[in-house]
Structure 1
Amino acid sequence: MARIKDVAAQAGVSVATVSRVLNENPSVNEETRRRVYDAMNQLNYVPNAVARSLRTTATRTIGLIIGDVLNPFFTELARSVEDEARREGFTVVMGNADERADQQDHYVRTLLEQQVDGLLICPTAEVTPLVQQLAEAGRPVVFLDRTISGLDVPSVRSDGSAAIGELVRHLREQGHRRIALASGPATLSTGRERTAAFAAAMTAEGLEVRPEYVRPGDFREGSGRRITAELLDLPEPPEAIFFGDNLMTLGGLEEIQSRGLRIPADVAVASFDDVTWFKHTAPPITAIAQPTAEMGRLAVRLVIGRIQRGQAADSHVLPAHLVIRRSCERKGIME
């Protein structure tokens, strides 16, 4: 097994520098950090936190690392995980990765050092050596909502493809032809899947996928507002905008309202991720609802099965569904 000094030699840095990278010391620049991570990957180096965690006694705790605590989707997911774990006699310790690979690794390392029995992770786009070694070590780990290609880790996620198809059909039936997508990042599995499903649905409905109408964001409010502004400033703006998640929808609504435009008379709006406040807006927002609570409960059962019985776990894909409200009605028609 490779040692820390082997990593240092491979990366051309000191042992102290490798230690600083592992401990996320901000004094290490990005280029050096990347060299160290590459060396760890090449040597199959197992960080100490993972190695130590292989020698544990049961603590009846589960670590949960979510993408963004400010996103209502992750809040609901965390609540369902906590409720199911409590019913099974486990405690949940949560970390907020804030959609950052280094923050994710910080919590993975911290939770392992606290000797949690298993981990539920909503992974970031980047495959870090720590997460890769964690998977290869055979620890009880389950991915939630997202997957990482090339890692043999069971996952629980939803599939919105059929619901996106229903949404595009609904928009076409309401008379909309110029339909835009404010998607998530292509580096995330959820961003890629929703973009591909949108393109397939548009083609199936005989609608053109215009390149200027498909714009990637980052599943944050700011990118939703920025993309909406860019779309509305086009010489021929879209008649409808489908947002890749609820926070991007919020940003889009802010931009539309700031321009004094009406929904859906001037532009129709739909969202992936249904949240409780969508039904209280004026007009209520059409959205694709994920089975969030069931995803959380199922993930807990899978990881506990691996903890207690060493069971191999299969990945699970749960269907999302379309909730039609008034934000996509035929232009000019309001209840």
Structure 2
Amino acid sequence: MANIKDVAERAGVSVATVSRVLNGRAPVAETRDRVLAAVAELGYRPNVVARALRTARTRTFGLVISDLRNPFFTELADAVEQEARRLGYSLIIGNAGESPGQQDDYIRTLLDRRIDGLMVSSAGTGSSMLHEAVASGTPLVLLDRALPGIAAPCVRAEGGTALRELAAHLAALGRHRPAVIVAPAGTPTGDERLEQFRAALAGHGIALPAERIAASPDLSPAGGREMMRRLLDLPGPPDAVLATDNLMALGALDEVRARGLRIPADLALVAFDDVAWFAHLDPPLTAVAQPTRELGRAAVHTLLERIEGREAPSVLLPTRLVVRRSCGEPPVH
């Protein structure tokens, strides 16, 4: 098997230069290309274990995602993986499936593998293994969901601006009986989105009473459909519904169609988290869009700051309201 000296001789550079290229720190592009060509020609494979023992680095990140079935988290994981690879890091992904126990199992496994840093989009609000990760000194970044008591920066989107735009949009359309299908009580993002939407509606003199707030048992299409059924069975059903998760929005849409109701003639429907196929529904679905790929890239760079021992503040990126036709056409003045 070829070794690093063979690569250096074939590329006409020093062993130190080969090492810098393989660690993502090539001095110039021409040198990098020459070294990588020699690596490919000789079939050289770095001894990752030996390098980790020398440098105390594995050049590996861990990412625990709350639920990979959710298109938002799928795209987020892809963005993290692409940026990590671009910077010369490998990524190990664990899917918590919205289960705190499963999440902790993955965190434990990743810590045992001596990863350089960890990113977690937490399932639930409690995790003994997150506290252990902090105590062990493993660089940690929270992604999408901030957690009380965890001393780590959080990279997430701020929904208040888009929800204020949504409240104004509904008010302009004469939708004065809104309802919300929200994540299970205690879910940080769900609680925050509910309060932001309630405050935004109040600014237009629109109330959001308790009977029009439906907390789903889980973040799933089935949960969204069950909550929409409950809302539509009210003596005074809503004329607009915001689902604070895209999978719950899908289930809510199923219930509306099963009853033969029309969107937007009978009911407006909005989702928090835009996904590509919302634009292809009939009618296309209005949604709050998060900067998903920017969140993934920001998480990687925040983690690298922590790995290098530098202070890394939390990152808050803006959302935007994507207005389509599921709430109705704005009145013409």
TM-score range, shorter chain: 0.7 to 0.9
Secondary structure, counterpart of 2:313 in structure 1: coil
Q: Distance in 1 between matches of 2:212 and 2:126?
A: 30
AA at the equivalent of 2:283? P
Q: Take 2:77 and 2:135, find their aligned partners in 1: how far apart are those partners? A: 25
3-state SS of paired residue (2:317): strand
Displacement, 1:209?
1.3
Alignment of 1:109-128 (within 5 A): 109-128=108-127
| Residue 304 of structure 1: how far off its partner (Å) | 1.6
Counterpart check, 1:265 vs 2:265? yes
User: One-letter code of the match for 2:286?
Assistant: T
Indicate the residue corresponding to 2:104 in structure 1. 105
1:216 alignment counterpart: 215
Contact 1:77 1:293 in 2 (8 A): yes
Q: Deviations over 1:287-326 (max 9, x none)?
A: 000011000000001112222x211211011110000000
Quote how far apart the aligned CAs of 1:223 are.
0.9
Indicate if the aligned counterparts of 2:269 and 2:326 stay in contact, CA closer than 8 A. Answer: yes
Q: Quick check: 2:130–2:150 contact (8 Å CA) kept in 1?
A: no
Q: What is the TM-score of this pair, normalised by structure 1?
A: 0.80
- Give the drift of 1:140: 0.6
Contact 2:272 2:287 in 1 (8 A): yes
TM-score, with length taken from structure 2 = 0.81
In structure 1, the gaps of 5 or more residues are 1-54
* Partner SS state of residue 171, structure 1: helix
**Amino acid of the residue matched to residue 153 of structure 1?**
A
Please give the alpha-carbon distance, in whole angstroms, between the structure 2 residues aligned to 1:197 and 1:186: 15
CA RMSD of aligned residues (A): 1.7
Distance in 1, Cα, partners of 2:55 & 2:68:
29
Give the equivalent residue in structure 2 for 1:274.
274
Q: How many equivalent residue pairs?
A: 278
Residue of structure 2 equivalent to 1:325: 324
Counterpart for residue 17 of structure 1: none
Confirm or deny that 1:66 pairs with 2:62.
no
Aligned residue for 2:142, secondary structure, equals: strand
Q: Is the 8 A contact 1:156 1:317 kept in 2?
A: yes
Residue 162 (structure 1) shift: 1.1
d(CA) in 2 for partners of 1:274, 1:129: 32
Alpha carbons 1:221, 1:247 under 8 Å: kept: yes
State the distance in 2 between where 1:106 and 1:136 align: 17
C-alpha deviation, 1:231, in angstroms = 0.6
Aligned position for 1:19: none
Written as runs of structure 1 = structure 2, the 5 A alignment for 1:1-335 is: 57-217=56-216, 218-307=218-307, 309-329=308-328
Contact 1:219 1:244 in 2 (8 A): no
Task: Report the CA distance between 1:126 and its aligned residue.
Answer: 3.2
Contact 2:125 2:188 in 1 (8 A): no
SS of residue paired to 1:265: coil
Structure 1 CA distance, aligned partners of 2:90 and 2:170? 44
Are the equivalent residues in 1 in contact too, given 2:104–2:128 (CA < 8 A)? no
Identity %: 47
2-structure distance, mates of 1:140, 1:82:
17
> Relative to structure 2, which stretch is displaced further, 72-81 or 55-64?
55-64
Structure 1 distance, partners of 2:229, 2:221, is 13
For structure 2, list consecutive stretches of 5 or more residues without a partner in the other structure: 1-53
Report SS of the residue matched to 1:169: helix
Of the structure 1 ranges 214-223 and 164-173, higher mean CA displacement relative to structure 2 is found in 214-223
Tell me the amino acid that sits aligned with residue 214 of structure 2: R
Opposite residue 182 of structure 1, the aligned amino acid is I
Residue type matched to 1:100 in 2?
S
Cα offset, 1:133, TM superposition:
2.0
Structure 2 distance, partners of 1:59, 1:138, is 15
1:125 offset after TM fit, Å? 1.8
Letter in 2 for 1:229: R
Cα separation, 2, equivalents of 1:56 and 1:86: 19
d(CA) in 2 for partners of 1:206 and 1:265? 23
Equivalent-residue separation in structure 2 for 1:103 and 1:117 (angstroms):
21
Given that 1:225 and 1:252 are in contact with CA atoms closer than 8 Å, whether structure 2 keeps it comes out as yes
Deviations 1:24-63 (A, max 9, x none): xxxxxxxxxxxxxxxxxxxxxxxxxxxxxxx982111100
